[in-house]
Amino acid sequence: MKRFVASTAAALGAAALIAAAPAGAETGEEQPMVVKNAWARATPASARAGAAFMTLKNTGDKADKVVAADADVSRVVELHTHKKVDGVMKMRQIPDIPVPAGKAVRLQPGGLHIMFIDLKAPLKKGETFPLTLDFARAGEVTVTVHVKAAGAMGGGMDHDGDSGAR
């Protein structure tokens, strides 16, 4: 029985791989998911958590979503949003961040963000670090996150010129 279960799981895994494969290979064109202006707030020395923000632009004609994120700066990386509960904004983990076809989704303070839990070291202003986003269709996209001042709101950065490729 155990063997049967294991082989079924393997078969399901293989099926999932096959199902996922056409996403990137379909057109042979450029990556339809563009990630812009990735930044994080500097954290105080005592902080155990940090957050990153960015704009996700889906230039393709199919809906996509972020299903996971990974970075070396913390032991845990989660997808979060803010929800008002009894008049108080609270953070909440969410399973994915949908990015509709042809639309841009902005991760920003007070809204959607990538959460770094159990930071290995404080995020210092001026530093950069790689962050990998895992999209259901587009696959993995790695971006450079720029650490800005603790009070930064990210305003005025949402233009096409700044791809972070400096």
List residues binding Cu ion (CB under 5 A): 80, 91, 115
CB of 51 to Cu ion, least distance (A): 6
CB of 55 to Cu ion, least distance (A): 18
21 or 76: CB nearest Cu ion: 76
What's the rounded Cα separation, in Å, for the pair 111 and 89?
10
What's the rounded Cα separation, in Å, for the pair 21 and 26?
9
CB of 77 to Cu ion, least distance (A): 11
36 or 80: CB nearest Cu ion: 80
The answer to whether residues 49 and 155 touch, using CB atoms and an 8 Å cutoff, is: no
65 or 80: CB nearest Cu ion: 80
What's the rounded Cα separation, in Å, for the pair 78 and 115?
5
Strand, helix or coil at 10? helix
Strand, helix or coil at 134? strand
112 or 138: CB nearest Cu ion: 112
CB of 25 to Cu ion, least distance (A): 34
